[in-house]
Every structure is written in structure tokens, then in C-alpha cells.
């Protein structure tokens, strides 16, 4: 840049406030799932044997694999934020894509797991299940609603992260305004030093303000980091919920 300080439009951002808003939302999620955990706790204490028996039909291996997948997706998510803070847009995009991929694998596993249960006629109100004890019916009702609601959250998380992938991977647009009296020759280069725009007037910018918008490759704005951090908070919360769902449904046989 030829002797001109570029001041892109810096919006005021309140990172702490943005995160606090996200946490407040997460608390409402805690209460949402909390209600279901409450139901689980009460019914489990009413029908301990039925819960044990019903849980023995769940596939611990699939549950364990899905736990490992979600934990790993939390790692890639945390790393995506970490490298973005350090200015690495490209690696961050790759890590976000990996996180999305792991989320999809989780849901595919979930799909096969549910399908297997449906094949065994174990779904709410099925003729087969109605022959079983009330406790087993409650167990499967909770199993489907809790892992189902959790699955919806994973799906929403994938949606949010897909948007973030686009947002992080694209080149941010910046605006540059030249005012009267600015230097007469302006050369704009891209990241590799190649000249992409040149402006020359004999006497400097004269009479009018010039504004042009350009793409800046490496710059990571604070707005992008905040958005990715908040998406990450959501993704990790979904992970935390699964950390509790996993032992309660798969490991109580």
C-alpha cells in the first residue's frame, strides 16, 4: 500500500457481552434438557430393574464410538477457534469442516442405531413394546426423546458451523475511503504483492471522496472470532449433554 493507512470500517464489538448472551442461551438449554434428565431420574428410581433390562438392548459399542466421535469433534472445534485467534483462516476452515464431518458421522451412526431398534419393533407405542413392562416403555420414550432432541441439536450445530465455514473461509470485504488531499498515487496490491488497482490523479484526490471495497485475504476480524467462539460454545454444550446421556442410557445394564 503506497503510504496510505487503511482504516477499514471498524465496528465496535463487545466480545464479552456477546459471549455472555450465548451463555445465557445455553442456560436455557440446560433447563430444557434438565427437565428431561429430571424425568429420567424420577422414572429410573421408580423402575430400576426395567431400566436396567431395557438398557441392555442398547448397543454399548455404538454409544461408545459416538462418544469418541463427539469428543473428537469438540477438540477440532476448540482448535478451529484457537487457530483463528492466531490468524490462520485456512486451517480454521479445515478444522470447522472436520467438525461438521464428525457431526454428520455421529448422526449417521444414530440413524443406523435407531433403525436397528425400529427393526426390532422397539419404538414408542409399537405393539411389541406395549407387551413389555411400563418401565421399559418409559425407558424407550425417554431414550427416543432425549437422544432425539440431542440429535436435533447436533443437526442445528452442523447448520451453524456450515454457515461459519463459509464465513471464515471467505475473504472479508474491507472498505477504503480516500478524501480530498490524500496522496495522488494509490496502488492496491493483493496478498501476493500483485498490483490489482491503481489510481492516479495529478493533484491528489480532488473534489470527491473515493470509496472502494476490496477483499483482504489474511485479516481475521474480531466479529468473525466472536461468531466462531459462540458457535463453539453451542457445539461444546451439545457434547456435554451427550457426556451425560451416554452413561445413563448405555452403561446401566
List the one residue from 45, 119, 127, 208 that touches other proteins (CB under 8 A).
Answer: 45
Q: Where in 83-142 is the site for other proteins (CB under 8 A)? A: 83, 85-86
Q: Is 228 exposed, middle or buried (0-12, 13-18, 19+ CB in 10 A)?
A: buried
List the one residue from 4, 57, 82, 184 that touches other proteins (CB under 8 A).
Answer: 82
Site for other proteins contains 173 (CB under 8 A): no
Site for other proteins contains 243 (CB under 8 A): yes
Q: How far is the CB of 166 from other proteins (least distance, A)?
A: 23
* Three-class DSSP category at 57: coil
Query: Which cell goes with 206?
Result: 480532488
CA atoms within 13 A on the CB side of 27: 5
Distance CA 78, CA 240 (A): 14
Instruction: Choose the stretch contacting other proteins; rule: CB under 8 A; options: 79-87, 109-117, 197-205, 211-219.
Output: 79-87
Q: Where in 189-228 is the site for other proteins (CB under 8 A)? A: 222
The pairing of strands 195-200 and 185-189 is antiparallel
Task: Tell me how many residues contact other proteins (CB under 8 A).
Answer: 48
The helix (H) or strand (E) run that includes residue 167 is: helix 134-169
Phi-psi region of 121 (alpha: psi -120 to 50; beta: other; left: phi over 0): left
Q: What angle do CA 249, 252, 253 make, to 5 degrees?
A: 110
List the one residue from 2, 6, 49, 71 that touches other proteins (CB under 8 A).
Answer: 71
Q: By CB under 8 A, name the binding residues for other proteins.
A: 13, 15-16, 19-20, 23-24, 27, 30-31, 34, 37-38, 41-42, 45-46, 60, 64, 67-68, 71-72, 74-75, 77-79, 82-83, 85-86, 222, 229, 232-233, 236-237, 239-240, 243-244, 246-248, 251-253
Amino acid at each position: 500500500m503506497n503510504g496510505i493507512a487503511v482504516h477499514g470500517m471498524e465496528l465496535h464489538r463487545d466480545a464479552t457481552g456477546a459471549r455472555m448472551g450465548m451463555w445465557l442461551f445455553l442456560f436455557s438449554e440446560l433447563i430444557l434438557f434438565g427437565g428431561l434428565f429430571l424425568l429420567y431420574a424420577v422414572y429410573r428410581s421408580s423402575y430400576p430393574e426395567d431400566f436396567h433390562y431395557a438398557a441392555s438392548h442398547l448397543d454399548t459399542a455404538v454409544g461408545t464410538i459416538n462418544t469418541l466421535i463427539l469428543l473428537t469433534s469438540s477438540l477440532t472445534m476448540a482448535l478451529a477457534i484457537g487457530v483463528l485467534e492466531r490468524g490462520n483462516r485456512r486451517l480454521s476452515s479445515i478444522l470447522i469442516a472436520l467438525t461438521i464431518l464428525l457431526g454428520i458421522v455421529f448422526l449417521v451412526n444414530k440413524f443406523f442405531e435407531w433403525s436397528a431398534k425400529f427393526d426390532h419393533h422397539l419404538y414408542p407405542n409399537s405393539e411389541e413394546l406395549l407387551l413389555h413392562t411400563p418401565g421399559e416403555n418409559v425407558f424407550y420414550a425417554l431414550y427416543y426423546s432425549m437422544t432425539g432432541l440431542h440429535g436435533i441439536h447436533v443437526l442445528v450445530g452442523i447448520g451453524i458451523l456450515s454457515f461459519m465455514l463459509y464465513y471464515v473461509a471467505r475473504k472479508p470485504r474491507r472498505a477504503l475511503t480516500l478524501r480530498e488531499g490524500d496522496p495522488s498515487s494509490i496502488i492496491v496490491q493483493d496478498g501476493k504483492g500483485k498490483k490489482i488497482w491503481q489510481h492516479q490523479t495529478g493533484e491528489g484526490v480532488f473534489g470527491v471522496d473515493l470509496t472502494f471495497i476490496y477483499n483482504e485475504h489474511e485479516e481475521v476480524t474480531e466479529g468473525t472470532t466472536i461468531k466462531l467462539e459462540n458457535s463453539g460454545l453451542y457445539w461444546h454444550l451439545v457434547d456435554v449433554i451427550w457426556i451425560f446421556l451416554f452413561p445413563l442410557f448405555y452403561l446401566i445394564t
